[in-house]
Structure 1
């Protein structure tokens, strides 16, 4: 830093100086130290002074901010290693082709949407990464992970077009994926979606805020794999290009301290600060770059500000009085946006005209030159300097705050305009102006007709483009779809106790933990198991695993735990296997996603088990689970303490009665609600084989209960029906002739109420009752939908019958009860050709005993008996007096409001 630079920085501080002479002496001393000993010594002295100034007697707290200038002075920039002219031409081509693709789509179908302005602002940030930093992994794995700003997806397609990975016909089907399939070409998804483009996009970033938190936990999971000796991740980086408006999402900011705490220097964020969100300025009356600098620096990140382009270097050099820095310190983002939207003449008058010092700096510049003064995020040389510094940073993550103009180059049609985010169509004169702005090789007619520009294969531009990607390992983005299969141990090796339970009492949560312990000991699969908890391991009975496999901690355990002599001692280790995420479901599911997609991202199949309070899953982090589904995650989500009446005492906020219904909405999620440990064991075995051996892109959500009860031995011939979602558990017959017959269907713990109800019906009411265990109403519904569709589309073929209809169709009434809202069983029972009554736990939870809760929600054995008798009354099998007698015998309240009204 030069003496002049020090003067400029200090001049920006708006503090009244009571002793200017003394202050000047301090500045002179600092400048002399810098000249004599260099910047490293200056930093050391300043750190010492700062430590002393924090003494309570002084009470000094530093501001988390620096002047509104670049963090890397021009004199410290590394040489630009590329061909600047060619890279600028390539960036111009990307901008044009991205614009043409979006505008063409909206000229054809105005409803399609798309975005031009975001990529216009981010193009140079992307291109420096593509040409110099983003390393591909190729077939052997490795390489960098890149999270792309979703609204800039058209620019990534434009690059893939020049690379030859996408054709013009593909570009013609931007946001037209269904039509593309009919035309035999590739449709391009609106945003990055691995489900829709499985060999192209790696990470779904379309839901704002999820890309940032996911990138942090992906970087952390890379370290986890390395520290456990499973993968060499040396030199690999995680890059995230995000928007400044996106930083307002809680998920964007919630894990910043984790990244710093774990010293994730493999993580680099580039925040595209174009100062605008969808409707207007991000911080119209403030400065988002200053705000983000303080937040990231306070969280422990290295902050690199990339504010002004090279055109400003000469102005700063001539500004001996610090007028520029002082003016920037007073200029808010709303005004900077106005400057971006206006031309050079306006900026001369309204920016440089603010005082004589600024006006003098602008002398000699034409209005056009003022108009072309670049912000830092549009200057390839400045961007390279920032990326170069970030890539070599050690000991902490880095964020680059890059100032750009939204709609850069769109002129009056969009640059800096409030409406630019919604701009999807451009007029002829706007297109020609854009052509002129970036000196594109297009005639007026070619520009007006939105012709794509692709240089010849042997042109300097394309040779350069391919050479740069070859030097960095290949093209990006690119996604691996498969990995080496992992053998799954025989079920009997870890789950025989559940299959042959013989009446032993346990909860399904206890059964899972025991099976997990067995899987961890398997030589082939064990190292790939990733147990994940959000600070509830002791609640779920997993504390014994602390000592067995250890809790992952990047720097090991530097203290002696108070329970060190215990069999369940809290053991942290650098190679620990458990990911203990603290009270952060968003963080835990981000870790789960990283592990569940490791087969694709790293070529390392892992098997994550994330166990949590079921209420705090889909309801709290449903958007992240949806994104994991988009990313083709493979693993188990385990909703523990599940069921609205099974988690006694905890009350309204904890008692889950709808997570299974939410899970059923996700196409590649297989949701189950098993009552018995044997059922769970069959589901676990089946899921592992589908995901690890067959490598299907599915994941499982299974509820686990904390209620202990006698576990029966699972009949050997029901495993297939357990997976299908329904099997016949048993039957109760009266001692004499039956007056009627019913089918009782129960899921989860409420199956036990159905079993008890069948006994009451047979003993007290002379009714025969079949009992059916419904392990998954959503799987039953999935197959029923498929059968119904097949029958509709094949009218001349013999109709098929779904499993649920095969089991339950007929005269006997069906009464179904679960610990969840009625809509969960109704997914499947709507297809049944029989009288159906559904009982469920619609409404808010309560704090009480399980028995009281089941009575309140009308899902206990007595309510099931009453429902069965009522169904038989409707069929003429019993009279109304029997129903009234049941109400009296069981003390059922008839005048209370419904549970969902209370």
Structure 2
């Protein structure tokens, strides 16, 4: 509109870069701009700026609006100070393990959140945000004490009012229960996560959602949040491609970590154990709300499958947890013939594979819990870039390379995600590399069948380790064939 006959209704906006002289004059006339022909004819490709005059109504209106907005140049005034951090007591529940009671990492995180919200220093700053199904994630436990925020308070009698954990809304409520709107929830998360700048009051948003409905559905919102320097936590619950079988492919998330890895402001973690989550959350609070005041946010995948949560070991490797990998089980024989790298819900399968390899095949391995494939890659890429730019300096060795070089051996990586997720680090592994993952859809009726379908169960890990050892000349092929037969893992055509 207004750009002349060469532009209007031609859908040529991105192809045409300049106006002709006739179009330029037509544009001037259409908008009633007081510019003489000569100024346009002198250089049609450099038309003059138009100024309506200092006392014109247009300029006075613009000046008044800018004054109301606080000035001519938009500025970001960050006046908030670092917050005091919760003490060790707030993390006690995730450190002590679950004893004989299996607990999912989703429930462990909710318990940690409840304890953090009791902290006298910053407990009042936590804002849980739920797009739907608070009970699925166990957040209904917060209803009686923290309540759901509503500007009008409770205006109805809830159908679950006879329950102890019934819906309770309040003008002073803390939870944002948004209904089925992920886009609205991301907007709320962004608003809360930027309050440190917009209001000078840092708040700590924790947006919990079905992981499939996060980066895949609202990834553009997370990118905009990064652009706005949002701080906070994203909690991708029911994570993984094999943990929520039976509810349809829309829930089976095998790639949100891959999408998350593309966001430079996002630190994505795939923890297996509650105590790992504790250290990651603590690190996030420190980096975003403590002295560093970093403009980042954390994406934590959470699983709905209960497992026995081990107590935090005395020699816990906090540096490794935060860097992306730490050894959780040493090789029974001291020196491993292979390394098993597992993340999230596949860690128990990795440990079972270690036992089978040792007991049945006399093959010693160690097992590493990979808390973040993406952070390992970023560290390695940074080292690679530094080495390229500083050829005369001693080379920097990536964290994962340094740790795996302690014992040279083939590496088998397994996760509940597409193989592209662990494959992020493949080029920086100093030995043979193989990955197992959940590429494809998968429509099996049980977790056990689905994991066999994707070959990420314990026996599939065993076979892959033995396959890599045989390819390396460290295992005879007859033993490999025996293992295939024993675990009934045969080629598709049924040949032995």
The two structures have a TM-score, normalised by structure 2, of 0.90
Tell me which of 761, 766, 775 is aligned to 2:371.
775
2:360 aligned with 1:764: yes
Q: CA deviation at 1:862?
A: 0.6
In the TM superposition, 1:432-471 aligns within 5 A as: 432-435=25-28, 437-440=32-35, 443-444=39-40, 448-450=44-46, 452-453=48-49, 459-460=54-55, 464=60, 467-469=63-65, 471=67
Residues 473/587 of structure 1: CA separation in 2 closer, same or farther (3 Å cut): closer
Structure 1 equivalent of residue 18 of structure 2 = 425
**Distance across 1 between alignment mates of 2:151 and 2:66:** 34
Paired residues, what number?
485
In the TM superposition, 1:247-646 aligns within 5 A as: 406-407=1-2, 410-414=3-7, 416-419=8-11, 421-422=13-14, 423-435=16-28, 437-440=32-35, 443-444=39-40, 448-450=44-46, 452-453=48-49, 459-460=54-55, 464=60, 467-469=63-65, 471-475=67-71, 478-480=74-76, 482-501=78-97, 503=99, 505-646=102-243
Of 520-529 and 867-876, the range deviating more from structure 2: 520-529
**Distance across 1 between alignment mates of 2:237 and 2:426:** 26
Contact persistence 1:509–1:704 (CA under 8 A) = yes
Q: CA deviation at 1:552?
A: 1.6
2:348 aligned with 1:749: no
2:427 aligned with 1:830: yes
Contact persistence 2:78–2:197 (CA under 8 A) = yes
Q: CA deviation at 1:420?
A: 6.3
In the TM superposition, 1:57-206 aligns within 5 A as: none
Tell me which of 867, 888, 895 is aligned to 2:464.
867
2:480 aligned with 1:890: no
Q: CA deviation at 1:452?
A: 4.8
Residues 476/600 of structure 1: CA separation in 2 closer, same or farther (3 Å cut): farther
SS of residue matched to 1:772:
strand
Structure 2 equivalent of residue 728 of structure 1 = 327
CA RMSD of aligned residues (A): 2.6
Q: CA deviation at 1:467?
A: 4.9
Structure 1 equivalent of residue 312 of structure 2 = 714
**Distance across 2 between alignment mates of 1:627 and 1:488:** 28
Deviation sequence 1:153-191 (CA, Å, 0-9, x none):
xxxxxxxxxxxxxxxxxxxxxxxxxxxxxxxxxxxxxxx
Bigger share in helix? 1
**Distance across 1 between alignment mates of 2:98 and 2:214:** 33
**Distance across 2 between alignment mates of 1:785 and 1:481:** 33
Q: CA deviation at 1:588?
A: 1.8
Tell me which of 274, 299, 305 is aligned to 1:701.
299
Contact persistence 1:435–1:447 (CA under 8 A) = no
Q: CA deviation at 1:648?
A: 3.9
SS of residue matched to 1:609:
strand
SS of residue matched to 1:514:
helix
Q: CA deviation at 1:556?
A: 1.3
Residues 725/511 of structure 1: CA separation in 2 closer, same or farther (3 Å cut): same
**Distance across 1 between alignment mates of 2:389 and 2:437:** 34
Deviation sequence 1:835-866 (CA, Å, 0-9, x none):
01101111103243222222121011111111
Deviation sequence 1:712-759 (CA, Å, 0-9, x none):
22345411211110111121325xx98x71111000010111111111
Structure 2 equivalent of residue 656 of structure 1 = 253
SS of residue matched to 2:462:
helix
Q: CA deviation at 1:886?
A: 1.2
Q: CA deviation at 1:710?
A: 1.5
Contact persistence 2:195–2:201 (CA under 8 A) = yes
Deviation sequence 1:752-807 (CA, Å, 0-9, x none):
11111111111121111111110000110111111111111211211110011111
SS of residue matched to 1:709:
coil
In structure 2, runs of 5+ residues without a counterpart are: none
Contact persistence 2:324–2:375 (CA under 8 A) = yes
Q: CA deviation at 1:893?
A: 3.5
Of 460-469 and 601-610, the range deviating more from structure 2: 460-469
Residues 540/473 of structure 1: CA separation in 2 closer, same or farther (3 Å cut): closer
**Distance across 1 between alignment mates of 2:196 and 2:119:** 19
Instruction: Find the structure with the greater CA-based Rg.
Output: 1
**Distance across 1 between alignment mates of 2:442 and 2:130:** 24
Contact persistence 1:635–1:699 (CA under 8 A) = yes
Q: CA deviation at 1:459?
A: 4.7
Tell me which of 437, 440, 445 is aligned to 1:843.
440
**Distance across 1 between alignment mates of 2:455 and 2:27:** 68
**Distance across 2 between alignment mates of 1:543 and 1:493:** 23
**Distance across 2 between alignment mates of 1:872 and 1:664:** 31
**Distance across 2 between alignment mates of 1:718 and 1:604:** 34
Structure 2 equivalent of residue 250 of structure 1 = none
Contact persistence 2:40–2:47 (CA under 8 A) = no
Residues 648/491 of structure 1: CA separation in 2 closer, same or farther (3 Å cut): farther
Structure 2 equivalent of residue 275 of structure 1 = none
**Distance across 2 between alignment mates of 1:508 and 1:552:** 26
Q: CA deviation at 1:632?
A: 2.0
Residues 419/857 of structure 1: CA separation in 2 closer, same or farther (3 Å cut): closer
Contact persistence 1:650–1:846 (CA under 8 A) = no
Q: CA deviation at 1:695?
A: 2.2
Of 675-684 and 609-618, the range deviating more from structure 2: 609-618
2:266 aligned with 1:669: yes
Deviation sequence 1:31-72 (CA, Å, 0-9, x none):
xxxxxxxxxxxxxxxxxxxxxxxxxxxxxxxxxxxxxxxxxx
Contact persistence 1:532–1:609 (CA under 8 A) = yes
Q: CA deviation at 1:565?
A: 4.3
Contact persistence 2:90–2:115 (CA under 8 A) = yes
**Distance across 1 between alignment mates of 2:493 and 2:77:** 56
Q: CA deviation at 1:666?
A: 1.1
Tell me which of 282, 291, 310 is aligned to 1:685.
282
Residues 639/463 of structure 1: CA separation in 2 closer, same or farther (3 Å cut): closer
The two structures have a TM-score, normalised by structure 1, of 0.51
**Distance across 2 between alignment mates of 1:695 and 1:452:** 45
